[in-house]
Structure 1
Amino acid sequence: MTDPTARKAENEKPDATVQQTPNPANPKPYVMPDDPQDEQADPLVAAQREAAEYKDKLLRTLAEMENLRRRTEREVADARTYGISGFARDVLNVADNINRALSTLTAEARDAADAAVKSVLEGVELTERELIKSLEKNGVKQFTPQGEKFDPNKHQAMFEVPTADVPPGHVAQVIQSGYTIGERVLRPALVGVSKAAPKPAPASDNSQPSGAGQ
């Protein structure tokens, strides 16, 4: 026979399927359910997930825009610095021709020249200096690596020079100066690279020891 008291307690037990009303005095934190069916039942869950997706897309877009801005600034700076590289190379040919023309004259020929020729020479030398200054103003700088350690990134070896005056592997002679533009090599310097001078052959001793042949 069933106990009436037990039957009453069983009837008063709360149904697990019925959602209990939260206590306003002790609210519990809202937990987003993982079940998609809960999102359909709760519009707040769907709104929170959609907001999180939009936030992620916004952050990704902002990061891409920042990368694009930095890349554009770098490309603009490179274009401003290196955009004249082709023109600068053509101007270097003019500077080389002026330098060759001046180097053909010896000191004796300069001293023997009359006043008119000396004036022409001074004008050509002034033109060469102004040309070099104009190149430097636009970021093109000349370098002469005499005595420096050979660097294949900046120097072009034309021949080897056996010498004891310069350590092996260093620039012993500069045939043509090099130029840089910004941080890049516009034209390498043409150089002769030193190598160890051959050691003199030991002197042969042809003298015979005393008493030989006796």
Structure 2
Amino acid sequence: MSEQKRAPETGGDASENGGLAPNEATAEAEALAAADAEIGADGEKQRLEAEVASLKDKFLRAFAEAENVRRRADKEIQDARTYGIASFARDVLNVADDLARALGSVDEAAKASAEGGFKALLDGLELTERGLVKALEKHGIRKIEPKGEKFDPNLHQAMFEVPDPSVPSGTVVQVAQAGYVIGERVLRPAMVGVARGGPKAEAPGKTAGAA
């Protein structure tokens, strides 16, 4: 009896590759690998983009903080230039007060009739007072002469009341001592007498702060 012929053997069972031929299995593996690589690349790109965004945010915050520090430093320097002489200026005001009192002690009739050395003395005092006022103004120090103005507690200090129904109540009618401001701050408030008895004056707005 002759032997039955065997069927030729194949390269392997297709079931071992999930039902796919070897070429198909290789193609699928390559496709999966390519997909994994693409997903990995996208994930890396997103990570780098997030890192760049974080670094940009940190940079902008640091830049803003540096700008704030620079502005604060500039303001402190400007304030030091403007208000650094405040203590010295207050002492100089005593000299201005003495000059004003010296001139105020001479009545107008005596000034008008002054001659010789006395006139020269009066002229010298007036010239010195004007020069002192100009020197103070050069350094941002201005004199406050509030007579006739509404009383402002930010600039004036009320020393007494004056019954006077002819002007609005709260109007400055006498100045006992001139005041001064330096920059936007009060160096010394004006000592004033305030009217009482007339119509109430409107309250002035805040114009300066204490030095």
Give TM-score, length-normalised by structure 2.
Answer: 0.72
Query: What do the CA deviations read for 1:58-85 (whole angstroms, capped 9, x no partner)?
Result: 2221111011111111111111111111
Q: Per the alignment, do residues 183 and 21 of structure 1 end up closer, same or farther by CA in structure 2, a change over 3 Å counting?
A: same
SS at 1:21 equivalent: helix
User: Which residue pairs with 1:130 in the alignment?
Assistant: 131
Separation in structure 1 between the aligned mates of residue 50 and residue 192 of structure 2, nearest angstrom: 68
Q: Per the alignment, do residues 158 and 64 of structure 1 end up closer, same or farther by CA in structure 2, a change over 3 Å counting?
A: same
Q: Per the alignment, do residues 20 and 174 of structure 1 end up closer, same or farther by CA in structure 2, a change over 3 Å counting?
A: same
Percent identical residues: 51
User: Which residue pairs with 1:142 in the alignment?
Assistant: 143
Aligned pairs (5 A) from 1:16-31: 19=32, 21=34
Greater Cα offset, 94-103 or 168-177 = 168-177
Separation in structure 2 between the aligned mates of residue 60 and residue 167 of structure 1, nearest angstrom: 55
User: Does residue 168 in structure 1 map to residue 169 in structure 2?
Assistant: yes
The one-letter amino acid of 2:185's match is R
- Identify the structure with the greater helix proportion: 2
**Any gaps of 5 or more consecutive residues in structure 1?**
1-6, 33-41, 198-214
User: Which residue pairs with 1:55 in the alignment?
Assistant: 56
The one-letter amino acid of 1:21's match is A
Superposed CA RMSD: 3.1
Query: What do the CA deviations read for 1:176-205 (whole angstroms, capped 9, x no partner)?
Result: 1111111111111000011006xxxxxxxx
Greater Cα offset, 52-61 or 139-148 = 52-61
Separation in structure 2 between the aligned mates of residue 99 and residue 136 of structure 1, nearest angstrom: 17
SS at 1:54 equivalent: helix
**Any gaps of 5 or more consecutive residues in structure 2?**
1-14, 199-211
Aligned pairs (5 A) from 1:1-214: 11=19, 19=32, 21=34, 32=43, 42=44, 46-111=47-112, 113-196=114-197
SS at 2:34 equivalent: coil
Query: What do the CA deviations read for 1:17-41 (whole angstroms, capped 9, x no partner)?
Result: x84635xxxx99x754xxxxxxxxx
Query: What do the CA deviations read for 1:115-140 (whole angstroms, capped 9, x no partner)?
Result: 11110111011000000000001100
Separation in structure 1 between the aligned mates of residue 42 and residue 159 of structure 2, nearest angstrom: 77
* Equivalent residue pairs, number: 176
